[in-house]
Amino acid sequence: MAIDLRARLSRLVSRLPDEDVRATLAFAEERAAQRDPLEEKLLAAPEENEELGDDEVAAIRDGLADREAGRVYSAESVKRELGI
């Protein structure tokens, strides 16, 4: 699938005017620089087709309810708590 997407992108870029190619290249370079190795591995991992179990669905609903009720922690407060 990724190869098909890359081929489609390549065909589209070959049809762009030069000024759009420059802008597209700048975007792609910026985006590539933002990627980290973990993100790359996660993006390359195969998709899961497994159904969620009742416990998993309940945990997701609990988390969403916590978020709606404001029972959340900022990344900064978690880092402070963990001494990171």
H helix intervals, 1-84: 2-14, 18-34, 37-44, 54-68, 75-82
CB 12 within 8 A of CB 24: no
Q: Are 66 and 72 in contact (CB under 8 A)?
A: yes
pLDDT per residue as tens digits for the range 43-82: 888 888 888 999 999 999 999 999 999 999 999 999 999 9
For residue 41, what pLDDT band results from cuts at 50, 70 and 90? Answer: confident
Cβ proximity of 13 and 5 under 8 Å: no
Q: Report the distance separating Cα 61 and Cα 71, nearest Å.
A: 13
